[in-house]
Homo-oligomer: A and B are copies of this chain.
Amino acid sequence: MASSITAVRGALVFFIDDPFLTDPHQAFVHEPDGLVICRDGLIMAAGPAARLASQLPDGVVPVHYPNCLISPGFIDTHIHYVQTEIIGAYGKQLLDWLNDTTFVAEQAFAEESHAKRIANLFCDELLRNGTTAAMVLCAVYPQSVDALFAEAERRNMRLIAGKVLMDRNAPPTLTDTARDGYDQSKALIAKWHGRGRNLYAITPRFAGSSTPEQLELAGALWNEHPGVFVQSHIAESRDEVAWIRKLYPDRTDYLDVYDHFGLVGRRAVYAHGIHLSEREFVRCHDSGTALAHCPTSNLFLGSGLFRIGAAKDRRRPVHVGIGTDIGAGTSFSALATLSEAYKVAQLNGRPLSALEGFFLATLGGARALALDDRLGSLQVGREADLVVLDPHATPLLQLRAERAQSIEDLLFVLMTLGDDRAVRATYVAGELAHLRKRPEPS
């Protein structure tokens, strides 16, 4: 079989290490006039265009994106596709929002046609925003997972997703049982994990909506399938933390609930982690458990301010990715999410640099998912998921980008002022998956 080769040209920006932990300029690669050559979905070469042009096979003409930046595709480590339609629902804090808004919307996903339609829109919206990999919560219904994975497979996207496990404190139509949840998850793993680029995540919604029996079976299931993932929520709001303490009086703290049931470790990703103790950060570090920082959601629900500095403390750094957390989050855009992450960090008195931000959205996310051998960088052999960023996409971006004093400044402008319009193109496994047709009119 002939191999499929594509190439794109522009400035390259990517990470090879963690700027929170090492000299950021050693961790970061910037090639002002670069070329990425993709073969059969993987990166065959990436570097200076002048040097790599000779490696292009006859007949392969690189697509040139002048004045654009080519980055690894964004990685969203926490998003609910079944909440796409309730983005921007007014006025609630976490627990009320779950009961009054989320649980109502998710019931519609028992209907397969509805699930398909939203899964389709959802995948398109990810690609419009340059997001090529995501860790996604579905609804309690297995068919909601089927719908999403089918759409991801059709686009060859790298999604990690799972059926929500929820056997208490939710409407009866939205709950499973510990046993059914286990059986359904197991069947979904057999059906989808490793099919195309899909990967499965065991998905207890959170300790408040699963009984100890369900968490125990979730831990057993992970033990039986160590290659799959775990995703859930932790320490998002103070009320929730207090409630979990009451539900599990024998556990040391919130993380210890999950730990007790064998649900911490590498490939486990917990969203939020706003109100974690030092002990919990240490335990995340020791176990390789990752956190998904979801700033637009945390601000929208008034949940609190994630402490990125504490999470990434060099003495015991925790893996952190960013999550849009649609539908409590307010944007599908990784750029907009980084803008809010910066604001949260500023309120904590510790700014987030552009290099730190772009790391979180790319290689940092890949490390949080333990997929950094495949995703998040432009190193040879990685999967060729790319986003092409246009720093001139709007009049204001253009004005500011023209005055950028360094590549860091330009990246900071993109994360502060950018949105889906700044995504010129998205490539999935080396193939064009989204192209913004025209520049912004007027």
Contact = CB atoms under 8 A, between A and B. Distances in A.
B88 A412 contact: yes
Interface string A276-307: 00000000000000000000000111101100
Contact of A121 (B84, B93, B395, B408): B395
Contacts of A124: 395
A121 B436 contact: no
Task: State the copy count for this chain.
Answer: 2
B88 A400 contact: yes
A315 interface: no
A45 interface: no
A91 B416 CA distance: 12
A438 B441 CA distance: 7
B409 A90 contact: yes
A353 B91 contact: yes
A354 B408 CA distance: 37
A317 interface: no
Contacts of A154: none
Contact of A342 (B300, B394, B403, B412): B300
A299 B419 contact: no
A321 B349 CA distance: 27
* Most B C-beta atoms less than 10 A away, residue of A351, A354, A396, A420: A396
A339 interface: yes
B332 A396 contact: yes
Interface string A84-114: 1101101101000000000000000000000
Contacts of A91: 351, 353
28 contacts: A84-B399, A85-B399, A85-B403, A87-B396, A87-B417, A88-B412, A90-B353, A90-B408, A90-B412, A91-B351, A91-B353, A93-B346, A93-B349, A121-B395, A125-B396, A128-B442, A299-B343, A299-B347, A300-B416, A301-B346, A302-B345, A305-B347, A330-B417, A331-B417, A332-B396, A394-B420, A421-B440, A438-B438
A91 B349 CA distance: 10
Interface in A405-442: 408-409, 412-413, 416-417, 419-421, 434-438, 440-442
Contacts of A408: 90
A412 to B, nearest CB: 5
Question: Interface size bucket, A side?
Answer: 35 or more
B87 A346 contact: no
A348 B339 CA distance: 20
Contacts of A347: 299, 302, 304-305
A155 to B, nearest CB: 15
A209 to B, nearest CB: 23
Contacts of A351: 90-91, 302
Nearest to A299: B343
A343 B90 contact: no
A75 to B, nearest CB: 20
Given A412-B88, A413-B88, A417-B87, A300 B346 contact: yes
B302 A346 contact: yes
Contact of A87 (B299, B330, B400): B400
Contacts of A346: 93, 299-302
Contact of A416 (B87, B128, B417): B87
Nearest to A326: B396
A413 B327 CA distance: 12
A419 B417 contact: no
Contact of A88 (B90, B332, B417, B437): B417
A102 to B, nearest CB: 14
10 closest Cβ pairs, A-B complex: A302-B346, A88-B416, A299-B343, A437-B441, A91-B351, A90-B412, A437-B442, A438-B441, A88-B413, A302-B347
A128 to B, nearest CB: 7
Interface in A356-415: 394-396, 399-400, 403, 408-409, 412-413
A417 B419 CA distance: 11
A244 B141 CA distance: 60
Interface in A314-339: 330-332, 339
